[in-house]
Chains A and B, each alone.
Chain A
């Protein structure tokens, strides 16, 4: 019987014929932490009977959430990670290199890999066909030491997307639409597998955006076939040898199929305080916002910055609005500088942050004031997320964010060119 992508990868990595519902022990090809989950992982590892990393060159510590560090406590956490990297021989990704998920995509994850990270958005690497999932510090500490972990093989929902996205509508709108449709727990414990004409045509950047947000529907993993687009992406990153074609079997068994006509999608926004609380941007016209964030692991890639810059170039943002741009990696920042987009942003009135997680999780850089609203290209809008339980967070695409920054209220980007 045919296999889904999840079954295929977990079969290969466990050495068993893995079927949905089975419990398997799978080899971990890449394990990582970031600076807010890493210290607990390191301390857990050090307090255990495990003494050595199973695979130091496939173990990465990222300093990305608090960069540059806003206070001494977090600076000390960074020292702990640097020391552990030095002593254990694992890789350290320094402050300023970028968000873990972007660097994992650029430099580490390979189609068919099992990737575990102490960050829920580890699912991003599913965009290139890796079984990538978020876990807590204890699970990742054990993966560090044993080089393996256990999984329940998930059932898979097949997401079949047809049609061309309208101009001004992007992968972000597609995934927000899907989450709105199935709910924030609509895919709990499941794998989502993306298929169809729209997906085949989609850039890696768009695939990463969609994979990044599957956890907001509760999913364990979001998987895309590894195809010619994946091959070209890896080649462009200097990793052509990491490519392998990978797809689900034609006769794989899916728990259900969800069909989406991309041509019917419109710019979509999640309203406070849950991601599945979606509406069309045009239904929210007139909603005043005081801050716009463009960046994060969801939408901080060059393609996202291009979509925003095309709208902002030569224009000024609304008075008293803060537009915050946080490129997802050093590489994205460099590309955006060389292509002139950073100049466009700065001239429009934007604040440029270093590559990293920026204001997304409320740790620093762009905390909201009482009663303030923000439109962000990030992936979460939970109460208290951006540093203040009295703040309101809306989620949308880079185009919607840029169009809204010009007007100071939620705006459908299709009317703005």
Chain B
């Protein structure tokens, strides 16, 4: 069970919002890079996010670049899962490869700052602030296997190959 506060963002949060190219010189210094997480969407995000919190997006979250640094800095900020109405393809795969769950649900029912409880196994998000419960779509089977091992590299370490 994951529990934390939801930080709400709008539609079309791009990988440039999450970690823009102007910080490319920090990509080999991840702790420094991570200080700029989501800076162009909310300059205060890095200061207010707490371990276990959730990033809550709208449509097409994570569109744009293939930079794995985007889900990586979100994970490094302590975020336990991303909730969105829809997610861009490469970002989705990258997040799962890093062991960061992305859950597709109707995030219109979540307001900024709501306390959320996520049950990954049951596929439910309980909104402790407004009392509602959301269900999220199943993570596709292949990705669930990778996520359950903690990401792609741990998966390959364990199995030595794709065993899908």
Contact = CB atoms under 8 A, between A and B. Distances in A.
A184 to B, nearest CB: 6
A362 B97 contact: no
Interface in A37-66: 37, 39-40, 44, 47-50, 65-66
Interface stretch (B47-55, B75-83, B109-117, B151-159): B151-159
Interface in A377-391: 380, 382-385, 387-389
Contact of A220 (B59, B89, B152): B89
Q: Which of A49, A70, A137 has its CB near the most chain B CB atoms (within 10 A)? A: A137
Contacts of B60: 184-185, 188, 218
A382 B24 contact: no
B17 A382 contact: yes
Given A141-B153, A389-B40, A367 B22 contact: yes
A173 interface: no
Interface stretch (B26-34, B122-130, B131-139): B26-34
| Tier of interface size on chain B | 35 or more
B164 A385 contact: no
A229 interface: no
Contact of B64 (A76, A120, A135): A120
Nearest to A277: B12
B12 to A, nearest CB: 6
Interface in A94-146: 117-120, 122, 134-139, 141-142, 145-146
Contacts of B162: 25, 146, 148-150
Contact of A387 (B22, B86, B94): B22
Contacts of A146: 156, 161-162
19 contacts: A23-B141, A23-B142, A25-B164, A37-B66, A47-B153, A48-B153, A48-B156, A66-B25, A74-B24, A120-B65, A120-B66, A136-B97, A137-B68, A142-B156, A146-B156, A185-B60, A361-B21, A361-B65, A383-B17
- 5 shortest A-B CB distances, which residue pairs? A136-B68, A361-B21, A136-B94, A384-B40, A73-B25
Interface of B: 12, 14, 16-17, 20-22, 24-29, 40, 59-60, 63-69, 71-72, 86, 88-90, 93-94, 97-98, 140-142, 151-153, 156-157, 160-162, 164
